[in-house]
Amino acid sequence: MSPHRKTSLAAGVLYLLTFVSIPTLALYGSVKGANCRPSHGGWELTSARARISYFRGIAIYMYWDEGSHAAPHFHAHHAGARASVDLDGRIVAGDLDRTGLRYVQEWAMAHRDELQANWERARRAEPILPIDPLA
């Protein structure tokens, strides 16, 4: 192989790495998040602090490292405020503004069974699944 051809081949590989592969990986990682992995049902969350949903500026988390004594709940973060919320949408600790709480309660009621299933997975130290956002 001629030196010119080797240089062209190396430049092509570097181009693919620089302008195709790296940006694609960066975009893909931000979409799926660092706490997701492929599973049979789509994607499952794998970190102890997993964001299970996001809607209208509200991030919903569920942790499974809080000990077996904890009552079923999730965490809602909105506009700098944080609250622990039971599966029926009642705040058990922290605070949310009225609008954020209304959205969280509506979402919790619509996804009560999924929240309970995730809580049970968490108690068994199994990965929890993402839940659809508020429509």
Between 86 and 19, name the one with better pLDDT: 86
- Contact, 76 vs 60, CB < 8 A? yes
pTM of the model: 0.64
Measure Cα distances from 113 to 101, 108, 109 in Å.
19, 9, 9
**Cα angle: 108, vertex 27, 17; to 5 degrees:** 160
Chain-centroid distance of CA 96 in Å reads 20
Whether residue 78 is predicted with pLDDT greater than 80 in this model: the reply is yes
**In the structure, what pLDDT confidence band is assigned to residue 5 with cuts at 50, 70 and 90?**
confident
**In the structure, what pLDDT confidence band is assigned to residue 122 with cuts at 50, 70 and 90?**
confident
Read off the pLDDT of residues 89-112 as tens digits, 9 standing for 90 and up. Answer: 999 999 999 999 999 999 999 999
Whether residue 45 is predicted with pLDDT greater than 90 in this model: the reply is no
Read off the pLDDT of residues 62-77 as tens digits, 9 standing for 90 and up. Answer: 986 666 557 899 999 9
Q: What are phi and psi of 49, to 5 degrees?
A: -120, 90
What tokens were used for 75?
A: 């965490």
